[in-house]
Amino acid sequence: MVNSRRRAISSTQARAFGMAGASTMFFAVIVLPMLFLILTLALDLSLFFTIGQKSQTLADEAAMYAFRFMPDVDRARSAGESYALHTAKQRSIPIDSVQTLNSSDQLSILMNGRAPMHFARWFGFDGGLPVQARASVRGQPQDVFVAVDVSSRLAPDAITGTAWGTEVQWPAATFFAHEMPIYIPDPYDAGRTVRVNERLLTQQCFNPIFSAEKAAAAEVFDYFSRFSLNGIGLGFFPGEFFTLDVAREVLPGGRRKTEEQLKGEADFDALSGTQTSSTLMCAAVAQQEHSHDSYKFPVPPVVDPVNVGSALSFNQDYAAWARAKEVIWSRAASQRATYSIESILSEITGRLLSAAPQPKRGGLAHRASKLGVIFLSGMPHEGTARFPEPAAAEAISRALLKASEAAAEAKVNMRLYLVLMQYEAWQPYQHQELEQLAALFAQLEYGDDSSSLRIRTLVAADPNELQDAIAKVMVLDEKSVFIAE
């Protein structure tokens, strides 16, 4: 009996050990691999979502960076794609391709890659999960007004002056030299006439200083007008009564449409000027020039603005096709040397703040920032008073204080850029004067959470630097972009 019990106990123990062995085998062969696969899958999914988040962050950054170079499509595309691929490598983000899609006001970056999947390798699949990130950005709409100084300081006197620059670089225009010489009464003999120097006549339209300013103003206008959500205006000073001669109110870019007809980008002032300096003359010079590229229109007009015959007349068919850069290029130096900086600043800020909201801006209709770009031939003037004389400084202060109050009331951000230049020995201001002007602007600047007024001076030591300075500051530094919904 004792032996029987012993045999029963041994048999029970054997069965128990057998079951334990089977359980261990089941755990080792089935459960552990399953747990490993589940853990691997969890890690893979975590990695997939992490890579997705990093890719989306990178796409946002690349799109916002690329938009700074718009509307130069090729440059924006190259900048965005280079930024994305270079940064992805630095951050170990597996990106295979980057694609850029853009319009004038919006830019999108599409990135494709694959997240590695260790779990899938157990089943012979080694391709990884596709990861895609897309970011779209759009610029904040801007209402812009470009004001161009055309005072007599920008040209030598047509009768008694000395031509600027060398005769090789700045010769007489074909129009004055061969097609339409200008004669005026001889001041010493009432019965005779004398021919006006052709180079001096030419320089009422084009010279080292004036041409650089007009070219830069035309580029600024053209740049901001290429964004369909922007509003853009144009004016010249001194106009009548020493204030602003408005060639275009702040309106959406492109040609303007009235109830009666389609109008050009800006008004061509065919009536302004004198016998030795007029808009018609400058347009005729640009239109008729054969040899000197610096006098020709930057782009040939669709329709010639001037009828050239025994006398000059405005081609009425041109009015509907006038481009702003042609209107700027045709402008002649005024016979007036002074203007009211208070009136100029007040008119510019007033037009910016009163610009009508554009329905196509959608939810951004009332979020447009305001930008005034003022090209100056020297220190600002208030009549005959030149900054830093008290009358000029006080006039600037009054105008900018009113602008601050108006910006605060309208809850908008406003930027004003005063663009000054110098050319070789021609320097119409001193360094100390620039410091005083900057100090005054710093005192008058204003800003809070809902509105601001910022004023900045841009100075180019050489005309060739002027456009670069404008591009670096206004085009790159001041562009506001945000992720589009």
Is the distance from CB of 341 to CB of 238 less than 8 angstroms?
no
Residue 93 CA to residue 77 CA, distance in Å, equals 20
Q: Identify whether residues 201 and 58 lie together within a single domain.
A: no
| Residue positions counted in the chain | 485
**Please, what sign has the CA dihedral across residues 313, 316, 319, 325?**
negative
Q: How confident is the model at residue 376 (pLDDT cuts 50, 70, 90)?
A: very high
Q: Is residue 6 part of a domain?
A: no
Q: Identify whether residues 75 and 167 lie together within a single domain.
A: no
| Tokens 């069965």 -> residue | 15
Provide, rounded to the nearest whole percent, the portion of the chain with pLDDT above 90.
Answer: 38
CA distances from 323 to 211, 278, 286, 299 (A): 17, 18, 14, 10
Point out the domain boundary residue: 139, 174, 207: 139
Q: What's the rounded mean pLDDT across residues 391-400?
A: 97
| pTM score of the predicted model | 0.79
Residue 164 contacts by C-beta under 8 Å, 6 or more apart in sequence? 156, 170, 203, 207, 208, 209, 426
Q: Identify whether residues 133 and 159 lie together within a single domain.
A: no
Q: Is residue 329 part of a domain?
A: yes
* Each residue's pLDDT tens digit, 233-267: 999 999 877 789 999 999 988 777 666 667 889 99
Q: Identify whether residues 73 and 181 lie together within a single domain.
A: no
Point out the domain boundary residue: 102, 124, 139: 139
User: Above 60 in pLDDT, residue 421?
Assistant: yes
Q: Is residue 2 part of a domain?
A: no
Number of Cβ atoms within 10 Å of the Cβ of 428: 17
Q: Is residue 382 part of a domain?
A: yes
Q: Identify whether residues 61 and 15 lie together within a single domain.
A: yes
Q: Identify whether residues 109 and 175 lie together within a single domain.
A: no
Q: Is residue 4 part of a domain?
A: no
* Each residue's pLDDT tens digit, 88-122: 888 888 888 888 877 667 788 888 888 776 655 55
Is the distance from CB of 441 to CB of 457 less than 8 angstroms?
yes
pLDDT at 438: 93
Q: How confident is the model at residue 1 (pLDDT cuts 50, 70, 90)?
A: low
* Each residue's pLDDT tens digit, 193-242: 889 999 999 999 999 989 989 988 998 898 888 888 889 999 999 987 77
Q: Is residue 471 part of a domain?
A: yes
Residue 174 CA to residue 171 CA, distance in Å, equals 9
Q: Identify whether residues 120 and 69 lie together within a single domain.
A: yes
Strand duo 452-460 + 446-447: pairing? antiparallel
CA angle centred on 445, ends 441 and 447, rounded to 5°: 165
Q: Identify whether residues 179 and 64 lie together within a single domain.
A: no
Is the distance from CB of 475 to CB of 223 less than 8 angstroms?
yes
Domain containing 288 equals: 142-483
Q: Identify whether residues 152 and 58 lie together within a single domain.
A: no
Phi-psi region of 427 (alpha: psi -120 to 50; beta: other; left: phi over 0): beta
Point out the domain boundary residue: 139, 171, 196: 139
Q: How confident is the model at residue 147 (pLDDT cuts 50, 70, 90)?
A: very high
User: Above 70 in pLDDT, residue 59?
Assistant: yes
User: Above 70 in pLDDT, residue 295?
Assistant: yes
Domain at 433, CATH number: 3.40.50.410
Q: What's the rounded mean pLDDT across residues 44-63?
A: 80
Residue 371 CA to residue 135 CA, distance in Å, equals 27
Instruction: Kindly state the DSSP code that residue 197 receives in the 8-state scheme.
Output: P
pLDDT at 92: 81
Domain at 126, CATH number: 3.30.1300
CA distances from 250 to 58, 144, 295, 481 (A): 37, 7, 28, 21
* Each residue's pLDDT tens digit, 432-481: 998 999 999 999 998 887 788 999 888 876 555 665 666 566 555 445 55
User: Above 80 in pLDDT, residue 279?
Assistant: yes
| Amino acid making up residue 252 | P
Q: Identify whether residues 237 and 189 lie together within a single domain.
A: yes
Q: Is residue 1 part of a domain?
A: no
Q: Identify whether residues 187 and 283 lie together within a single domain.
A: yes
Q: Identify whether residues 99 and 169 lie together within a single domain.
A: no
Enumerate long-range contacts of 15-23, CB under 8 Å, 24 or more apart: none
Helix (H, G, I), strand (E, B) or coil at 306: strand
Q: How many domains does the chain fold into?
A: 2
pLDDT at 287: 94
Residue 122 contacts by C-beta under 8 Å, 6 or more apart in sequence? 37, 40
Q: Is residue 189 part of a domain?
A: yes
